[in-house]
C-alpha cells in the first residue's frame, strides 16, 4: 500500500507563525503552527489526502504505528521536560486511570502507557537545551555566582547553598530538586541573574527565558543544562529520562508513538516536579548527538539505540535514483525539499512535494525513490 497522508498543524502557544509556511509553503493559519503529526496516535491521527474523512488508523483497520513522525516549529521555548521509560509509563498510566483522571484532563501526566524516546533533526538552525552539563561545569558556574561582585548577599548565599548540595551524595539530583521546588520564590534571584547579561554573554539565555517566564525555576535549571545549536541535518537523540527543552527553529522529530511529557518549568501547562524528578536521568554525560552514517550516495541513516523506529534521509537527484530499497517494515516518508517520486514493486507511484507525506506498507518490501529533493523516512523495524 502506498497512500498520501496529511494533517493539520497543532496550534500550541510556543509554535512559530512563519517557520512552517515559509519553509514548506503551507498556508499560514494566522496563529502559531507548532507541530504536524504524521502517524496514528489518537492525539492527532493523520488522514488520507484523497479521503480526508478517513484517518490512517481507519485505513489500516485499527492498526497503530509504533512511531510518530512530526514537523516541529518552535517560535519560543518549549517546557523543560523529560519522558518516561516503558515501565514508568505503564505504571503511571495505570495509576492515573485508577485515580479516575480523564485522559484529556489538564493535570494528566500519562496519556498512554508507552515510552517516548525521540530524535530531532534540524531543518533550519535549531537551538535546544539537552541534558545536564558536567559536574565540573556546574560547580564552576555556581562558584561564579558565589564570587560575583555584581550581586546581593542573598544571591551569593543561595548560590553557596546550591554549591554545597552539588558536592553531596546524589548532589546533582539534590541541587535540581531544591531549585525546581522554589516556584514562586525566585523572582529576586532571577532578576539579579538576568541583570548580569548586560556584561556577560553566559547569562544571555537566562535573561531571554526570564523575560518570558519571570521568576520561573526553569530559568536557573536552564543554566545547568547543555546549550546546543544544530545546523541543518544535524541531530540529537533524547532517550527516556533525558531532560531537555527546544528553544527555537524548525526540525523533523521522530519518536515512539506516545504523548507522555513530564514538565518542570518554562510553561503555562501542567507541571508535576515530583513526577519529573522520578523519571529524570541525573547522569551528567556527553551530549547525545547523533552521527549520521552515509550508507550510499543519497541515503543517510541516523542511528538510535531503540527498537521502535529507524530514521533515514534520502536525497535523490537527476543523476541518482535510490532503486529497490528493501525497507524492514512499514514506514512514513516526508518530503522536506524539492520533489520526490516514490514507487513500489507493485507499480504504485506518487509524487511528494515539500511538506507532503505518504504511508508505505511493509508489503511489498521494495521501493524506489527518484526525483530531485530531500525526504525523511521513518521505519518500524518489524523484521
Element (H, E) at 379: strand 366-379
pTM for the whole structure: 0.94
Phi then psi for 166, rounded to 5 degrees? Answer: -60, -30
Select from 188, 228, 191, 231 the least CA-distant residue to 209.
Answer: 191
Distance CA 61, CA 110 (A): 25
Residue 274 CB: number of other CB atoms within 10 A?
12
Residue 124 CB partners (closer than 8 Å, separation 6+)? 19, 23, 232, 249, 250, 251
CB–CB of 317/372 below 8 Å? yes
CB–CB of 362/329 below 8 Å? yes
Rg over alpha carbons for the chain, rounded to the nearest Å, is 22
Distance CA 4, CA 352 (A): 8
pLDDT computed for residue 149 by the predictor: 87
pLDDT computed for residue 285 by the predictor: 66
Query: Coil, helix or strand for 202?
Result: helix
Grid coordinates given for 342 = 516514490
What burial class does residue 327 get, using C-beta atoms within 10 Å of its C-beta: 0-12 exposed, 13-18 middle, 19+ buried?
buried
Query: Coil, helix or strand for 262?
Result: strand
Phi then psi for 187, rounded to 5 degrees? Answer: -55, -50
Question: Which residues carry out catalysis?
Answer: 263
Q: Report residues of the chain scoring pLDDT below 50.
A: 383
Domains of the chain: 7-130+229-290 (2.60.120.10), 134-220 (no CATH), 293-379 (2.60.120.10)
Select from 253, 189, 241, 246 the least CA-distant residue to 215.
Answer: 189
Sign for the CA dihedral angle at 267, 128, 312, 18 comes to positive
Distance CA 61, CA 100 (A): 29
Amino acid at each position: 500500500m502506498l497512500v498520501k497522508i496529511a494533517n493539520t498543524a497543532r496550534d500550541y502557544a510556543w509554535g512559530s507563525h512563519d517557520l512552517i509556511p515559509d519553509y514548506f509553503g503551507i498556508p499560514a493559519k494566522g496563529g502559531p503552527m507548532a507541530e504536524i503529526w504524521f502517524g496514528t496516535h489518537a492525539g492527532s491521527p493523520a488522514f488520507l489526502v484523497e479521503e480526508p474523512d478517513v484517518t490512517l488508523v481507519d485505513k489500516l483497520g485499527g492498526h497503530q504505528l509504533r512511531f510518530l513522525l512530526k514537523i516541529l516549529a518552535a517560535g519560543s521555548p518549549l517546557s523543560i521536560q523529560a519522558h518516561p521509560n516503558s515501565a514508568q509509563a505503564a505504571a503511571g498510566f495505570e495509576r492515573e486511570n485508577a485515580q479516575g483522571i480523564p485522559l484529556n484532563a489538564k493535570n494528566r501526566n500519562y496519556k498512554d502507557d508507552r515510552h517516548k524516546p525521540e530524535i530531532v533533526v534540524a531543518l533550519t538552525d535549531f537551538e535546544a537545551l539537552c541534558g545536564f552539563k558536567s559536574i565540573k561545569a556546574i560547580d564552576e558556574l555556581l562558584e561564579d555566582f558565589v564570587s560575583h561582585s555584581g550581586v546581593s548577599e542573598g544571591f551569593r548565599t543561595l548560590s553557596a547553598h546550591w554549591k554545597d548540595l552539588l558536592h553531596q551524595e546524589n548532589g546533582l539530583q539534590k541541587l535540581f530538586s531544591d531549585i525546581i521546588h522554589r516556584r514562586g520564590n525566585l523572582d529576586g534571584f532571577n532578576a539579579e541573574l538576568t541583570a548580569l547579561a548586560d556584561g556577560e554573554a553566559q547569562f544571555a539565555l537566562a535573561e531571554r527565558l526570564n523575560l518570558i517566564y519571570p521568576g520561573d525555576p526553569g530559568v536557573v535549571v536552564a543554566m545547568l543544562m547543555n546549550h546546543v545549536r544544530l545546523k541543518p541535518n544535524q541531530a540529537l537523540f533524547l532517550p527516556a529520562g533525558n531532560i531537555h527543552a527546544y528553544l527555537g527553529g524548525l526540525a523533523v522529530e521522530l519518536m515512539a508513538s506516545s504523548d507522555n511529557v513530564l514538565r518542570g518549568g518554562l510553561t503555562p501547562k501542567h507541571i508535576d516536579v515530583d513526577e519529573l524528578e522520578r523519571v529524570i536521568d541525573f547522569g551528567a554525560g556527553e551530549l547525545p548527538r547523533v552521527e549520521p552514517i552515509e550508507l550510499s550516495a543519497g541515503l543517510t541513516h541516523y542511528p538510535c539505540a531503540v527498537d521502535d523506529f529507524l530514521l533515514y534521509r534520502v536525497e535523490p537527484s537527476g543523476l541518482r535514483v535510490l532503486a529497490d530499497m528493501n525497507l524492514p517494515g512499514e514506514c512514513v516518508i516526508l518530503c522536506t525539499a524539492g520533489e520526490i517520486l516514490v514507487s513500489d514493486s507493485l507499480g504504485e507511484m506518487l509524487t511528494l512535494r515539500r511538506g507532503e507525506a505518504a504511508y508505505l506498507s511493509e508489503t511489498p518490501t521494495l521501493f524506489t525513490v527518484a526525483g530531485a529533493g530531500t525526504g525523511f523516512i521513518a521505519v518500524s523495524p518489524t523484521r
